[in-house]
Structure 1
Amino acid sequence: MYRKFINARSPMRLLEKGLHGGLGVGNLGACVAAPGVGKSSFLVGVAIDELLRGGTVLHVALGQTVGHVRDHYDTVYLALAASTHIDEPTKIQAEIDEHRRIRAYRKNSFSASKLSDAVKVEAESGVRPSLIVIDGLEASQLIADDLVLIRSLAGDLAAEIWFTLDAEEQGGLPSEVADAESLINVILTLESKGDEVTLRAVKDHENEDIHDLHVGLDPRTLLLIRS
């Protein structure tokens, strides 16, 4: 199957429809779930979709190694290639790897200024990300000043920025999210239901009519799926 058909049929198009057009450039999106439910796989799925559309991705990994992140991409991509019978899978994998950058930081050492520095370094080599994903952010790091800087960076780059957060023990949103909600454009949760993980929108920009997304995550393949 050709890349353009895979893009057209991607569950991400359904997600964008459910979110009244998607996250949008210059905006911040949060994916919140309990540990082990699939937040990292969600980010990788979003990133691979962007890469297949010809975009450039900066993946920021907190508390993980670069090798671990690469392996995760390989796992998800190979599952996608097998399920869609994509043409020339090895060639396409090499192409998307070329347009993906990975930065790894210690769990509590990340800040908005470090993200800005990373973007500047990439810019010096001619790389301008259209999507930034931040995996492993702590709720305690949701500092208003940092989020303002990150949103400003997203606007300057005309990029989307997604990040993950662990849910509270009872599955609820961290209290810090409520304090910073005005700075986050979209908030999604991942909810485990039997053999499938369901995405649910908690905040969709300023829209009051929040829709069902009809998108899930297959915990066996780690792929985003229609649900």
Structure 2
Amino acid sequence: MLKEQLIKRSPIRVLEETLDGGLGTGQVGVLTARKGVGKTASLVHIATDKLLLGQNVLHISFADDPRHIVTWYEQVFSEMAKASKLEDALDIHEEIIRRRVILHFRQDSSFEQIKASIEQVKMGFLGEPQLIIVDGFPFERATAAQFAQWRSLAQESNVAIWFSATLHREKLDLDEHGVPAPVNKFYDLLDIIIMLKPQKDYIDFCLLKSHDDGNGRKIHIKLDPKTLLISNHRV
């Protein structure tokens, strides 16, 4: 399969269609799930799709060692290439990793420190990122004012920002919108909220908030826990 065919047939196109074009520039979205369900794998698949489209991606991690994040990208790309029998996979891999930067921060890092590092990335070889992934952000401890700084960054820089958020292992604490803690206290600051829910043989994507503030719309994609790839799920 050619790269253009892989992009066209990507399940991320299904996600974008459901979300009326996807997460746009200046917008903020979150994937939330319990630990180990597939948040990072899903975000890396979304990021890899953007890289294949020729966009720049900045991946910020508050949790994993940067080497672990690189491994996620290698594994996801390898599975994508194998599943699609991608032609010139090695050349395409070399092409896309030049447009990706991974930064690691301690959870107590200030937003000013993070923003300064982002500015350095912009002035470096990457240039302006079109997508920022923020993995392991401390939603439990963060305030609305602190999170609002990220929303301002998205709007000022015309960049889309996807976050991951870990749910409580105990009973879900849902608000009136059906959104679980800890992300529900940031409801008004988020454009898209998706929860990953494990089923018997796959992981479902449940839309809790979209651009029209509604929820309940079916997302016809799933995460395969064996390959860690998002795929179409027509049910």
Assess same fold via TM > 0.5.
Answer: yes
Cα distance, 1:174 vs structure 2:
4.5
Mapping for residues 35-74 of structure 1, pairs under 5 Å: 35-74=35-74
2:203 to 193, 197, 204: 197
In the alignment, the residues of structure 1 paired with residue 191 and residue 54 of structure 2 have an alpha-carbon distance, to the nearest angstrom, of: 24
1:175-222 superposed Cα distances (whole Å, 9 cap, x missing partner): 342221100110000010011001110001234364201111111111
Go from structure 1 to structure 2 and tell me whether the alpha carbon gap of 1:209 and 1:42 turns closer, same or farther (over 3 Å shift).
Answer: closer
Question: Residue in 2 aligned with 1:10?
Answer: 10
Specify every segment of 5 or more residues in structure 1 that has no aligned partner in the other structure, as ranges.
Answer: none
Structure 1 position 115, deviation (Å): 2.9
1:19 matched to which residue of 2?
A: 19
Q: Which is richer in helix?
A: 1
Q: Does the 8 Å contact 2:31/2:195 carry over to 1?
A: yes
Change (3 A) 1:111 1:161: farther
Letter of the aligned partner of 2:122 in structure 1? Answer: A
Partner Cα separation in structure 2 for residue 45 and residue 110 of structure 1: 26
Q: Write the distance in 1 (CA, Å) between the matches of 2:198 and 2:182.
A: 23
Percent identity of paired positions between Structure 1 and Structure 2: 31
Unaligned regions of 5+ residues in structure 2, if any?
A: 174-178
Most deviating of 156-165 and 36-45: 156-165
1:122 aligns with 2:118: no
Q: Secondary structure at the match of 1:101?
A: strand
CA distance in 1, matches of 2:72, 2:98: 16
TM-score (norm 1): 0.94
Partner of 1:208: 214
Distance in 2 between residues matched to 1:142 and 1:222, nearest whole Å: 29
CA contact (8 A) 2:61 2:104 kept: yes
Q: Which deviations, in whole Å up to 9, do the C-alpha atoms of 1:66-123 show, x marking residues without a partner?
A: 11110111011000000011111111111111100000122x2244323311211112
Q: How does 1:67-216 map to 2 (within 5 A)?
A: 67-106=67-106, 108-126=107-125, 127-168=127-168, 169-172=170-173, 173-208=179-214, 210-216=216-222
The total of aligned residue pairs comes to 226
Contact 1:11 1:225 in 2 (8 A): yes
Q: Which moved further from structure 2: 201-210 or 185-194?
A: 201-210
Deviations 1:37-94 (A, max 9, x none): 0001011011000000000000011121111110111011000000011111111111
Question: In structure 1, how many angstroms separate the alpha carbons of the residues matched to 2:94 and 2:120?
Answer: 22
Q: Does the CA-based 8 Å contact 1:215-1:226 persist in structure 2?
A: yes
Q: 1:207–1:76: structure 2 CA closer, same or farther, 3 Å change rule?
A: same
- SS of match in other structure, 2:83: helix
Does structure 1 residue 220 correspond to structure 2 residue 226?
yes
Tell me how far apart the structure 2 counterparts of residues 110 and 8 of structure 1 sit (CA, whole Å): 39
Instruction: Give the superposed CA RMSD.
Output: 1.5
Which residue does 2:176 correspond to in 1? Answer: none
